[in-house]
Amino acid sequence: MKALIIDGYVDEPACLGVPPYLSPYPRYVAGALRERGLSESDIHYLTIDTLRKNSPAAGELIGKADFLVVIAGMTVPGKYLRASPITPGEIEAIFRAACGVKVIGGPIRLGFSKEGGRAAKGTEGGISLEGAVLARLDIEAFVYDILERQGETGWNTGTPSRLKIPGAVEHRFRTTTEIGRWGPKGAFLIRQHPDYPYCMCELETYRGCGRQVHCSFCTEPFYGTSDYRPVEDVITEVSALYSQGARFFRIGRQPDLFSYHGTDIGGPVPRPEPEIIERLYKGIRNSAPDLSVLHMDNANPITLANYPEESEQILKTIIKYHTPGDVTAFGMESADPKVISANFLKAGQEEVLEAIRLVNKFGSVRGVNGLPEILPGINFVHGLMGESKKTFQLNYDFLKHVLDSGLLLRRINIRQVMAFPGTPIYGKDEAAKKHKKLFLDYKEKVRKNIDLPMLRRIVPEGTILRDVMCEMHENGITFGRQLGSYPLLVGLPASLPLRKFTDVAVTGHGMRSITGIPYPLNINTASSSLIKELPGLGRKAADSVIAGIPYADREDFLRRVSVGEKLLKYIEI
Ligand code: SF4
């Protein structure tokens, strides 16, 4: 029995699985398959990009698979540096080529759409599944139930005919106890990831939303109320991943990390439990002592605003155990009171500002990798009910106020709503179409007037960023990022070896990216395009530095280059 998992990638408000990220979905599916008796060598994993690159070999794997699982679904699609999510056409082609049992699941169960501003369609109506079955709830539970043993002999002698017919299997959610077993059992899958060992393992602490009312656009309530995993289960999974070589982790699969195991005391959100977060972080560090990255993702600003003391303790814990460059992403969605009330959003301007201040107070200190320890990110959603022209002005004014207050925001995410069937916004998202032009102009204005000065403040010229991974070449530029949560895109004007880390000195700023040079720059061997990028070096001076190569030593450099003193800190000879 051979199983093949094809990762078409997922991007949800509280879960990322686009390379270099590996989401929990394929790992849990692999764990469920293991528990049903398949050996590690019988479980194959391909990302959709690997499949595109190796189509003949991958096609053979698809044809030979007794059991094919496709994972897909972008509920908040973004732009990705070197990965491209699976398309409906590709799903159809894969299923046409498959001969065994075939299933598809993940967030695609909620529907699909190409971009924000367009409502999602139901998957079964919009994609020809060619005999595959869509897991209406959790794909990992669906796979597990299909493979229920029907005899005593086990899979070594089994054939696909011994599978339950997928259409006859009940759709259900998996339990936290099940993923407590499947997570560690599926950890081996990371070794098949094309980015291994440099892939980020997205970790789940819980899913579902603990609020009594839900934001009109959000798909998280489809998972029910908060379903917390035991702390020990998360730690055990980290330990299993670590033993397979994982070194990069993000605690990203939850809507609000600060509320993990929070206590419901009747308020709008649960009261945080700082000692639980301490147990989680300490446990992760103990079981993965040499990890390279430990970051987080979402937090609800209302939790920080309502429980500042508990949140302060949590922030201190995070800073103690994490790695710098961390981001706590706040879903503000809108600064317009009318939109907030029409869509049952969680926090108003004052509360979000409080949360931003709190994170800045403790997190803005620069860490060893060159970035501040932890900074807030902020998400805006446009096209919501009650949106007017004034909404754009209010959002802009809010961001301007944050900038003018000297506060730092690591990332401003602005998107248009993608309305999913079953959410209150579905069928009421006409503002997205109506305000498309307004939206694009406003986005541009934010990028220019807010993002750019903010980025200059966060990573001023001359900042040294450690361990930037070179990922792709384009037009003579190497693009790289530090592995982490919402990594900054760095462009280096040279062709550097890919899949290698380099330290970078920041030399310039774009609206959402920076330019840099390898640090330290070997002045005698560097290309002229890199030398010209040295901070504070005019074109004429750069030409004269280049003409003077080679330099015998630092003294020689200082003697022959008039601006040598200020360049010395960036170069080696
Ligand atoms: S608070 Fe709103 S955005 Fe956050 S998970 Fe709940 S419904 Fe979704």
Pairing of strands 43-47, 3-12: parallel
Contacts of residue 79, Cβ cutoff 8 Å, sequence gap at least 6:
none
Say if CB 536 and CB 502 are below 8 A apart.
no
Kindly state if the Cβ of 211 falls inside 6 Å of ligand 1: yes
Write down the CATH number for the domain with range 3-168: 3.40.50
User: Measured between alpha carbons, how far is 47 from 62 in angstroms, rounded to an integer?
Assistant: 13
- Dump strand ranges (E) for 300-416: 326-333, 374-382, 411-416
Kindly state if the Cβ of 209 falls inside 6 Å of ligand 1: yes
Q: Is the pTM of this model over 0.75?
A: yes
Which one, of 79, 81, 141, 78, lies nearest residue 106 by Cα?
Answer: 141
Cα(326) to ligand 1 centroid in Å equals: 21
Kindly state if the Cβ of 253 falls inside 6 Å of ligand 1: no
Atom 8 (ligand 1): residue with closest C-alpha? Answer: 218
Which one, of 384, 399, 306, lies nearest residue 338 by Cα?
Answer: 384
Cα(393) to ligand 1 centroid in Å equals: 24
From the CA of 219, give the closest atom in ligand 1. 8
Mutating to test ligand 1, I would choose from 306, 346, 351 the residue with most ligand atoms within 8 A of its C-beta, which is: 346
pLDDT along the chain (573 residues), means of 10: 95 94 98 95 96 86 93 89 94 93 94 77 80 94 84 43 73 97 98 97 94 90 92 98 98 96 86 97 98 97 97 98 98 97 96 98 98 98 97 98 98 94 93 93 97 97 97 96 96 96 96 95 96 91 95 96 93 95
From the CA of 331, give the closest atom in ligand 1. 3
Residue 113: predicted pLDDT: 78
Mutating to test ligand 1, I would choose from 15, 76, 205, 211 the residue with most ligand atoms within 8 A of its C-beta, which is: 211
Which one, of 377, 396, 413, 416, lies nearest residue 119 by Cα?
Answer: 416
Cα(209) to ligand 1 centroid in Å equals: 6
What would the pLDDT profile of 405-462 be if each residue is shown by its tens digit?
Answer: 999 999 999 999 999 989 999 999 999 899 999 999 999 999 999 999 999 999 999 9
SS (H, E, C) 15-63: EEECCCEECHHHHHHHHHHHHCCCCHHHEEEEEHHHHHHCHHHHHHHHH
Say if CB 33 and CB 163 are below 8 A apart.
no
Which one, of 479, 528, 427, 468, lies nearest residue 121 by Cα?
Answer: 427
User: Measured between alpha carbons, how far is 406 from 161 in angstroms, rounded to an integer?
Assistant: 65
User: Measured between alpha carbons, how far is 218 from 220 in angstroms, rounded to an integer?
Assistant: 6
Q: Is the peptide bond before 372 cis (omega within 30 degrees of 0)?
A: no
Each as own residue / partner, the long-range contacts of residues 96-100 (CB below 8 Å, 24 or more positions apart, any chain) are 96/130, 97/59, 97/62, 97/63, 98/62, 98/63, 98/65, 98/68, 98/130, 98/132, 99/63, 99/65, 100/65, 100/66, 100/67, 100/68, 100/160
Kindly state if the Cβ of 299 falls inside 6 Å of ligand 1: no
The secondary element (H helix, E strand) that includes residue 296 is strand 293-296
Kindly state if the Cβ of 207 falls inside 6 Å of ligand 1: no
Which one, of 179, 193, 372, 201, lies nearest residue 288 by Cα?
Answer: 201
Is domain 464-572 annotated with CATH 2.40.50.140?
Answer: yes
Q: What homologous superfamily does CATH list for 197-458?
A: tm_1862 like domain (3.80.30.20)
From the CA of 221, give the closest atom in ligand 1. 7
Kindly state if the Cβ of 331 falls inside 6 Å of ligand 1: yes
Cα(268) to ligand 1 centroid in Å equals: 11
Residue 155: predicted pLDDT: 47
Kindly state if the Cβ of 215 falls inside 6 Å of ligand 1: yes
Residue 149: predicted pLDDT: 57
The secondary element (H helix, E strand) that includes residue 105 is strand 101-105
- Dump strand ranges (E) for 475-536: 477-482, 489-492, 501-509, 513-518, 521-522
Residue type, 49: D
What is the residue whose two structure tokens read 């009747």? Answer: 266
Distance of CA 355 to the CA centre of its chain: 21
From the CA of 218, give the closest atom in ligand 1. 8
Q: What does the DSSP assignment read for 177-217?
A: HHHHHHHHHTGGGGGGSTTTTS-EEEEESEES---SS--TT
Q: What's the sign of the alpha-carbon dihedral 58, 64, 69, 70?
A: positive
User: Measured between alpha carbons, how far is 272 from 281 in angstroms, rounded to an integer?
Assistant: 15
The secondary element (H helix, E strand) that includes residue 8 is strand 3-12
- Give domain limits for the chain: 3-168, 197-458, 464-572
Q: What does the DSSP assignment read for 64-88?
A: H-SEEEEEEEESS----SS-----H
What would the pLDDT profile of 137-163 be if each residue is shown by its tens digit?
Answer: 999 999 999 998 544 344 444 444 456
What would the pLDDT profile of 179-223 be if each residue is shown by its tens digit?
Answer: 999 999 999 999 999 999 999 999 999 999 888 889 999 999 998
Residue 162: predicted pLDDT: 54
Of the chain, the percentage scoring pLDDT greater than 70 comes to 97
Q: Mean pLDDT of all residues in the chain?
A: 93
Mutating to test ligand 1, I would choose from 15, 213, 214 the residue with most ligand atoms within 8 A of its C-beta, which is: 214
